[in-house]
Each structure stands twice: as C-alpha cells, then as structure tokens.
C-alpha cells in the first residue's frame, strides 16, 4: 500500500508564500474537547464530497443531525464566510491555501485540533502543515491532484494529450472542453503550461496566461465544478480539467477515460475540516470532526469521493478499484505534484482579474 500514499507529500516541509498565520492575532483555543450527544451540525463542503450514508451513520452514532450545503470553489466559500463574518456553518472544508487565508481574516476558530482524542489517527506527515503549523484550526479531510482526463476512445492515440500545453491547445477530436470553475486551479495550470510558477507576479507571465485563456475560450464547453462525474461518464465531454478522485469515479463508468499527469507538473491539494469563527454548535462540530478521524468513517468518505486521506488505517479499507487505479496511485516516476501555496493578496487580486475577464 505504500504506493497509495505516495502523494502524501510532507506538507510541513513546504513553506507558504506569505508566511505563517500570525499566532498572536488569532483567537485563543476554545477549550477542551466535550463530546456532544444531541443537537446539529451544519456542514458546508464541496459538491459531491460527502456520502449521505455517512451523515445517517453519524446521526445514529452520536444523536447529532448533520445538514449539508455545497460550494464549488474555495473562493465561493471565502465569499460566504466574509459575508456572514464566519457564521452560518459549524464545519467547512477549505483547501490548504484557503485555510491560511481564512485564518488570516479571523474567520476560523482556533479550536486546537491536537486536543481531539482522535488527533492521534492523523498520519505524522499530515500534521502541522505549512498553512496551520500548530494544527490550531484544521485536520485533514481528502487530498488529491488537479490534472485532466480524456476519453481515449474519442481522441486518437497520435493526438493523445500529455501536457498542460496540449490541454490548452486541444485536438479538435476533443470537442468542447470541461473546465473547473476554479480560478486557482485554472490559472496555476495555465502558468505551468507556459513554463511559469504558481503565484508569480511577473506581469509578462500573467499577461501570457491571460492571452492563452482568451485563445482557449472558444474551445471551452462547460465551466463548472459540479456534476463533472456525470457529464464525463455520459460522454457529454471527451476531455476536461478534473480532480483525480472525480476522474477515478468517471473511469468506473467509462474505462476508456485516462487521467493525465501533465509533463509540466500538477497541483497536489489537501482539503481540511475547520470550524468557522462564528459557528453556533462548537461542541457538535468538534464531535463531528473527531468522529470523522475514525479510519472506518474516513474510509467511507474516501471510497465514495475517490480521494485518499491522511488518516492511519484508511489505506487498508480502500476499494481495490482505488488501490489499482493510476488516477489514484501516480506512476512511481512522476515527481511533479506540487503542494498549493498561498499567494500574496496582490497576486490573488491579479488572478481574480484574469479569471473574471476570461469568464466575461
């Protein structure tokens, strides 16, 4: 099983682009762990990222009801928490860089995740990531990569795409391209395709990305992070930017689908369970997060979403189809998965401008 966790790049080893969260300026830890046995938890997570069966099991096990709303990108989540001052939800699921941005904006509760009884179940290399060096705010949920996939029954082997350069200049047999509604993933991929690094502030590189996206636009079919598994499985699109877990699920329905590890490199993301600063049901939220750190619960989420997690004991419980899928277990010689960094606010504003102009 070592291969499955090959993507468990030690997050702690990577430094963030804008420095660590200012510990002194954040709210203090919210006290010791108190297990709740009634009440509710409002979860706000990515589309299609939490099985109904697990919500049911959580209620049976703990007496706590779980209601779920969905978002399509870190920036949508951030906008929602900014608008409500961190209220409205008890647990939300930001990726790496967004944990740091939300903590910097005082939108997360410092609940000291190390005080959870099941914190011990988190694999060592998944503790103390660069975006939360003390595990004050977060525990890991799913991790994966952002690559692209194509249907090899529709695209000739001679035209088979292998790079982001190919993705942004697709063969005509690919038809309209699926694109994630995700400014960070799309712009980082476009930067890689021109040989630039994520988080660059170089005006000529950012202009080149803007130009590339402008020329790519006529080839785009749907820009959406929702229902990708259904659309690609049904053959509505033959090529698209996709997260590897979703690609795995498509491959279960359509075996001719191929997940590509682009030559220039790709993003390795880590999604997290965190508590917003305005959460109403904090004990219930902590009870939920602690419950999710049980291997059998996290494995149920993994087998549903197609993504692995950094929780000890989950690998053994993964389906054989996950363990044997190159979309989940990258080729052993592929060493270009890069942990997402937190760009400076100035660079984020530039990304947003490029993205808005691309979509308009």
Binding site for ligand N2P (CB under 6 A): 46-49, 95, 243, 246, 269, 271
Between 49 and 89, CB nearer to ligand N2P: 49
Q: Which residue has the tokens 């790519």?
A: 216
**Chain Cα centroid distance, residue 112:** 22
3-class secondary structure, 300: helix
CB of 252 to ligand N2P, least distance (A): 14
Between 46 and 150, CB nearer to ligand N2P: 46
CA angle 79/93/134 to nearest 5° reads 105
CA angle 111/94/322 to nearest 5° reads 110
3-class secondary structure, 71: strand
Spatial separation of the C-alpha atoms in residues 125 and 308, rounded to whole Å? 14
In terms of Cα–Cα distance, which of 273, 3, 287 is closest to 142?
Answer: 273
- When CB distances to ligand N2P are compared, the closest residue is 46
CB of 257 to ligand N2P, least distance (A): 16
Between 33 and 49, CB nearer to ligand N2P: 49
Q: Is 97 annotated as a binding residue?
A: yes
In DSSP terms, which residues pair with 93 in a beta bridge?
none
CB of 45 to ligand N2P, least distance (A): 8
Between 26 and 341, CB nearer to ligand N2P: 341
- Strands, E, within the chain: which ranges? 40-46, 65-71, 91-92, 138-151, 177-179, 220-223, 239-243, 257-260, 266-274, 308-309, 337-339
CB of 332 to ligand N2P, least distance (A): 24
Q: Which residue has the tokens 């009870």?
A: 287
Q: Is 341 annotated as a binding residue?
A: yes
C-alpha atoms less than 13 angstroms from C-alpha of 189 in its C-beta half-sphere: 30
Q: What's the length of the chain?
A: 360
Between 243 and 291, CB nearer to ligand N2P: 243
CB of 151 to ligand N2P, least distance (A): 19
3-class secondary structure, 123: coil
CB of 346 to ligand N2P, least distance (A): 24
CB 9 within 8 A of CB 91: no
CB of 181 to ligand N2P, least distance (A): 11
Between 246 and 283, CB nearer to ligand N2P: 246
Between 48 and 237, CB nearer to ligand N2P: 48
Token pair in block for residue 255: 């075996």
Write the CA distances from 152 to 157, 173, 235, 325, 331, integer angstroms.
Answer: 7, 10, 12, 16, 18
Give the annotated binding-site residues for spermidine: 97, 341
Q: Which residues are annotated as a binding site?
A: 97, 341
């Amino acid at each position: 099983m070592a291969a499955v966790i090959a993507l468990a790049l030690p997050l702690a080893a990577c430094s963030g682009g804008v420095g660590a969260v200012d510990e002194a300026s954040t709210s203090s830890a919210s006290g010791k762990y108190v297990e709740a046995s009634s009440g509710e938890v409002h979860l706000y997570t990515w589309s299609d990222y939490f099985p109904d069966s697990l919500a049911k099991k959580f209620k049976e096990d703990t007496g706590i009801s779980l209601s779920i709303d969905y978002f399509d990108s870190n920036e949508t989540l951030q906008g929602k928490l900014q608008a409500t001052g961190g209220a409205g939800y008890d647990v939300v699921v930001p990726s790496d860089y967004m944990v740091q941005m939300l903590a910097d904006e005082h939108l997360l509760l410092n609940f000291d995740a190390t005080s959870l009884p099941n914190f011990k179940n988190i694999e060592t290399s998944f503790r103390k990531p660069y975006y939360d060096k003390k595990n004050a705010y977060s525990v890991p949920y799913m991790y994966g990569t952002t690559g692209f996939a194509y249907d090899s029954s529709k695209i000739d082997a001679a035209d088979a795409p292998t790079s982001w350069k190919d993705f942004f200049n697709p063969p005509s047999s690919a038809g309209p391209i699926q694109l994630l509604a995700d400014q960070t993933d799309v712009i980082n991929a476009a930067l890689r395709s021109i040989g630039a690094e994520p988080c660059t502030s170089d005006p000529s590189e950012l202009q080149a990305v803007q130009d590339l996206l402008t020329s790519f636009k006529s080839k785009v079919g749907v820009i959406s992070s929702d229902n990708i598994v259904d659309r690609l499985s049904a053959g509505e699109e033959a090529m698209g930017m996709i997260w590897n877990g979703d690609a795995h699920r498509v491959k279960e329905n359509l075996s001719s689908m191929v997940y590509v590890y682009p030559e220039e490199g790709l993003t390795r993301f880590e999604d997290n369970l965190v508590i917003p600063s305005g959460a109403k049901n904090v004990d219930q939220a902590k009870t939920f997060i602690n419950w999710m750190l049980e291997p059998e619960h996290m494995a149920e989420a993994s087998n549903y979403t197609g993504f692995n997690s950094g929780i000890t004991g989950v690998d053994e419980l993964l389906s054989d189809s996950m363990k044997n899928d190159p979309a989940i277990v990258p080729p052993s010689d592929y060493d270009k998965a890069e942990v997402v960094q937190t760009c400076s606010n100035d660079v984020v504003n530039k990304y947003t401008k490029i993205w808005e102009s691309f979509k308009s």
